[in-house]
Amino acid sequence: MNPYIRLFRPEMVLIGIAFLFISSMIVPGSDPLNAHMIIGAVSVALFVMGGNALNDYADSASDSVSHPSRPVPSGQIPRENALYAGCSLLMASAIIAVLLPLVSFIIVGTACALETAYELRLKRMGLAGNLTIGAVTGMTFLLGGSIAGDVARCAIPSLAVMLISVSREISSDIADAAGDIGRRTLPRSIGLRGSRIIASLVLLSAVPVSLAFPVIYDTGTLFFFAVVPYILIIETSRRILLGKNGTEPLMLISMLLLGLSFGLGSF
C-alpha cells in the first residue's frame, strides 16, 4: 500500500464520514444527502487525514518503538512531509467549511485548532490530551447536528461518543507506554492498573449518559437499538480491566453502533 495512503488512514476517514451522516439521522426530518452535508463530509475527510498526518509527525520518536512500521518512523515518508501534509489538510478542512452554516464553520475551526494544539502540545500532557481528542471526535456529531439544523439534539450523542473516545485514547497510551518517552501520559503518571480502571470507568459512563437522550426526547426505541452497543461496551470494559489487547477496534465499533442507535431511535 502507498505510504501516503497509510499515513492518512482511509479507514478512519470513512469512520469520520460515517459519524457525520449518522449524526444527521438524529435530527428528525433532516436530509443526509443535501449539499451542506456533502461539503461537511469533505471537510471531515480532510480533517481526519490532516490529523493523522500531524499525529505521525508528532509521534515519530515514540512510534519508532511502538509502531516502527508506520510510514514516518520506517523512513518511507520524511517527517517534514507529514508536517506539511497535516497542516495543509487541516487548513483545507477549515477553508471548505466556510461554505457551511456559521455554527458549522465555528465547530470545524475549533476542531482544527484543538487538533493542532493536541498534536503539538496537549498530547504530552496526559489526560488533558485524551480529553481533547475525545472532544474532537464528539464534535463530529455536533457538526452533523448543526448542518441538519438542531445541534442541541446531538449534544448527548456527542458526549457519549466523546467518553468512548477518551477511553480509547487512554487504552492507546497503555499499549504504547513503552515508547511514550517524554510524555506525561496517564499510564506513566499513575501506572497501568490505575489507567485501566479509569479507562474502563470512562467507557462504562457512556451508557448512563446515553440513557438521558430517550428521557429528554421521548425516544424509547433507543433501548432496542442500543442493546448490542451496550453489551459491547460492558465487555470491552471488562477486557480493559483484565489488561487484554485489541480493545481499541471494539471501541470504534461501539462508537459507530451507539451513534447509529441514536439515529435509528430518532425515527
pLDDT of residue 182: 63
In sequence order, the 6+-apart residues with CB closer than 8 A to the CB of 249 are none
Rounded distance between C-alpha atoms, residue 29 and residue 187, angstroms? 45
In this prediction, residue 180 carries a pLDDT of 64
Cα dist from 142 to 38, 51, 74, 243, whole Å: 16, 18, 36, 33
**What is the number of alpha carbons within 13 Å of residue 198 lying toward its C-beta?**
22
Q: Domain extents for the chain?
A: 3-264
pLDDT in tens, the chain (267 residues): 688 899 999 999 999 999 999 999 999 888 888 999 999 999 999 999 999 999 889 878 777 777 788 888 888 999 999 999 999 999 999 999 999 999 999 999 999 999 999 988 887 788 889 999 999 999 999 999 999 999 999 999 999 999 999 999 999 888 877 666 667 788 888 888 999 999 999 999 999 999 999 989 888 777 788 899 999 999 999 999 998 888 989 999 999 999 999 988 877
CATH class, range 3-264? mainly alpha
